[in-house]
Amino acid sequence: MSTDPFRDDALLDWQGQGYDISLERRRLGAVNLSSGQVCALDPMDALYADPIELELEAGAYSVVLLSADLRDERKLAYLIIEISGAEALRWEELEPLDTSSGLLALMDADVASLAMDAHNLDEDEFERVLWRECSKNRRQQKLGWTNIPVQQLGAPAAAEKNLVAVEVPAGQYQVWAGRDDSAELALLVVDFGVLDILFTPFGLRY
């Protein structure tokens, strides 16, 4: 297969874990990072969490799900923010993140503040809408996710202020920053521990 499963031109047939694994890439649209500070957090329990310690240029970044078909079960393997179109050649480990609710969300730090206000104002409605929107894709695609304007969750905000949420098992997950040959950020990856890929300062190891 390709040496980089996170690129669009990667082959998506994986040899590992004793049997063939089919990978599927699904684009979830863009997340608008108007402040350049990205938060990856549990939107039900941790909207107060600090942003990831990376400074990005303000803008809209594509979000991608990479899932694995493990025999008769499809599991979410990676959640990816594409920072640039370059190949990530070395990886650095960032602070892990936790989710206890079974949801993980990517959003701008400013959106996290708006979402916290909406959650505090009407917790039940906030959570009901978020679960409902994720369930729509779960029924159709067998993976629960949503790309939703924060105003739909009850926050008074412009339509472009959004978050991307995915359903994952409760637990702690590692976050990796991938850099290109000029040491510029290329990818931000949340690893759900499904595939046995190793992220190293010298590239990916299989």
Band (1; pLDDT cuts 50, 70, 90): very low
Q: Which helix (H) or strand (E) holds 121?
A: helix 109-121
Q: Do 137 and 147 meet the contact criterion of CB atoms below 8 Å apart?
A: no
What DSSP letter does each residue of 57-116 carry, written as one string?
Answer: -SEEEEEEEEEEEETTEEEEEEEEEE-SSSPP-EEEE---EEESSSEEEEEEHHHHHHHH
Q: What are the angstrom distances between the C-alpha of 201 and each of 24, 88, 161, 171, 178?
A: 26, 10, 34, 25, 9
Q: pTM, whole model, 2 decimals?
A: 0.92
Per residue in 121-149, pLDDT (tens digit) is 999 999 999 999 999 999 888 899 999 99
Per residue in 172-206, pLDDT (tens digit) is 999 999 999 999 999 999 999 999 889 999 998 87
Band (76; pLDDT cuts 50, 70, 90): very high
Band (2; pLDDT cuts 50, 70, 90): very low
Query: pLDDT averaged over the chain?
Result: 91
What pLDDT is attached to residue 126? Answer: 97
Per residue in 156-165, pLDDT (tens digit) is 888 899 999 9
Secondary structure tally for the chain: helices H, strands E = 2, 14
What pLDDT is attached to residue 206? Answer: 77
Query: Any bridge partners for residue 68, and if so which?
Result: 23, 75
